[in-house]
């Protein structure tokens, strides 16, 4: 049947199977161009041989797995929770994973994917077996030397208590209101009421660092972490005008807990005497399923994209991760983890171009000037919309959307 996008309130509730796979293949081709051969500058850290990506099926997780596999020639194990196509189409992540696995096999790369709820103990046990099997197939030790935690879920069932926690994207301490932008170029007014203490705690449970720590503990307990393993989790900070709904809201509290977890992981590594190291990497604003519905963010991202494209600084998801690998994690001089460039809080900063003073000044100027009469000239709402559609497999070049086969 012919599949058309079904969008409700900036949320796309379906995907196009062939479009998703074509989009993922496009990222793979892009990675090969951005990370030729070695994938790093001479004199950097040893490239990963066995990478684990939890939350591997879209966004930064998918890009990280592609970079590890096609940029570093690593065997990879991915974990994501997807609906498989039976009576209805599968989730977009299912098709992204399928495209990745198909291309990896063509390139002689080992790639195993665990389809399970990553928050569960069962998923961690299945992943341990998948790591051993991937290592066996690749002829390498079963030691994960790159661990990327990029899980994005609105809910989490605590494996210890069985309680389901639901995250809430809300401000803390007071209501928030502001202009927002729909993908058709129309403006609206968005309001969000302050979160309760229970909602704050639940969001930290879902989006914080507890599960990242549990994954580290499980891998260490099974003897599957290399003594020099490098671990990553991703975060976002953004400009000050977005802080009431983001950095100072429930999401920000969860991200603070992610940084707490990072410090705890590093403290345990130091106590054990190995050279393993974990980082939180601050990424630039991109179009995601979450960012499309957070008040003020679509307007900000549309103006930011316009400003960064005008300055020749815009990066998509794959370009961001390729730069992270090339110029930070495995850059020249980074053989010692302490030499990986970080900020005063120990975070890797890939939002450096976004947060440049000139970029932010131009973005603010565009946000103030934007109205329905000039929105397509002042902002890049069309680019925002296109990225959103392509992430769900629509409007991808080379796909015949009128083919019902």
Where do the structural domains in the chain lie, given as residue ranges? 7-173+196-296+315-351+386-391
Question: Mapping DSSP to helix (H, G, I), strand (E, B) and coil, where does residue 234 land?
Answer: strand
Kindly report each contact of residues 364-368 with a partner whose C-beta sits within 8 Å and lies 24 or more positions away, as own/partner.
Answer: 364/241, 364/303, 366/303, 366/306, 366/307, 367/299, 367/300, 367/303
**Six token digits for residue 399:** 């796909």
Q: Any residues with CB less than 8 A from the CB of 330 and at least 6 apart, and which? A: 39, 40, 44, 45, 47, 72
Q: Is the dihedral of CA 199, 200, 202, 208 positive or negative?
A: positive
pLDDT of residue 37: 57
pLDDT at position 30 is 95
Q: Is 37 exposed, middle or buried (0-12, 13-18, 19+ CB in 10 A)?
A: exposed
pLDDT score, position 332: 86
**CATH superfamily, with its number, for domain 7-173+196-296+315-351+386-391:** NAD(P)-binding Rossmann-like Domain (3.40.50.720)
Residue with tokens 């000039």: 374
The residue among 68, 74, 75 whose CA lies nearest residue 31 is 68
Q: Is 19 left (phi over 0), alpha (psi -120 to 50) or beta?
A: alpha
List of E strands, 128-235: 144-149, 155-157, 164-166, 176-181, 187-192, 225-235
Pairwise CA distance, residues 64 & 233, whole Å: 11
Tell me the CA end-to-end span of the chain in Å, nearest whole number: 6
Residues of the chain with pLDDT under 50: none
Give residue 35's pLDDT: 85
Coil, strand or helix at 97: helix
Chain position carrying tokens 């991915």:
78
Q: What is the 8-class DSSP label of residue 328?
A: I
CB 309 within 8 A of CB 380: yes
Strands 50-54 and 75-80: parallel
Distance, in Å, from the CA atom of 256 to the CA atom of 82, rounded to the nearest integer, reads: 28
8-state DSSP, 327: I
Using DSSP's 3-state secondary structure scheme, residue 227 falls into strand
Give the pLDDT score at 225: 97
Q: How many helices (H) and strands (E) does the chain have?
A: 12, 13
What pLDDT, on the 0 to 100 scale, is given for residue 42?
60
Catalytic residues: 246
């Amino acid at each position: 049947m012919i599949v058309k996008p079904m969008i409700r309130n900036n949320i796309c509730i379906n995907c196009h199977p062939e479009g998703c796979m074509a989009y993922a293949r496009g990222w793979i081709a892009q990675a090969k161009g951005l990370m030729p051969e070695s994938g790093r500058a001479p004199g950097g850290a040893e490239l990963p041989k066995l990478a684990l990506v939890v939350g591997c099926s879209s966004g930064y997780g998918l890009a990280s797995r592609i970079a590890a596999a096609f940029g570093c020639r690593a065997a990879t194990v991915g974990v994501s929770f997807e609906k498989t196509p039976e009576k209805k189409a599968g989730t977009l992540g299912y098709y992204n994973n399928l495209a990745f696995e198909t291309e990896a096999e063509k390139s002689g790369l080992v790639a195993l994917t665990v389809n399970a709820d990553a928050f569960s103990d069962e998923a961690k046990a299945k992943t341990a077996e998948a790591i051993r099997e991937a290592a066996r197939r690749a002829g390498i030790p079963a030691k994960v030397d790159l661990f990327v935690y990029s899980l994005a879920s609105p809910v989490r069932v605590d494996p210890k208590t069985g309680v389901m926690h639901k995250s809430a994207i809300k401000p803390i301490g007071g209501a928030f209101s502001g202009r927002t932008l729909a993908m058709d170029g129309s403006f609206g007014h968005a309001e969000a009421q302050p979160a309760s203490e229970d909602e704050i705690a639940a969001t930290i449970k879902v989006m914080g660092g507890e599960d990242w720590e549990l994954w580290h503990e499980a891998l260490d307990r099974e003897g599957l972490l290399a003594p020099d393993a490098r671990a990553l989790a991703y975060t976002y900070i953004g400009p000050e005008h977005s802080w009431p709904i983001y950095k100072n809201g429930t999401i920000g509290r969860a991200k603070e807990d992610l940084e707490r977890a990072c410090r705890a992981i590093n403290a345990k590594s130091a106590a054990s005497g190995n050279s393993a190291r974990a980082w939180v990497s601050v990424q630039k604003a991109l179009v995601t399923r979450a960012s499309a519905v957070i008040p003020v963010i679509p307007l900000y991202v549309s103006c930011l994209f316009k400003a960064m494209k005008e300055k020749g600084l815009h990066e998509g998801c794959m370009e961001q991760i390729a730069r992270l690998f090339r110029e930070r994690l495995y850059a020249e001089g980074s053989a010692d983890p302490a030499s990986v460039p970080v900020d005063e809080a120990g975070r890797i900063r890939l939002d450096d171009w976004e947060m440049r003073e000139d970029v932010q000044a131009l973005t603010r100027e565009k946000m103030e000037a934007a109205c329905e009469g000039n929105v397509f000239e002042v902002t890049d709402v069309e680019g925002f919309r296109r990225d959103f559609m392509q992430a769900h497999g629509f409007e991808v070049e080379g796909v015949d959307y009128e083919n019902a086969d």
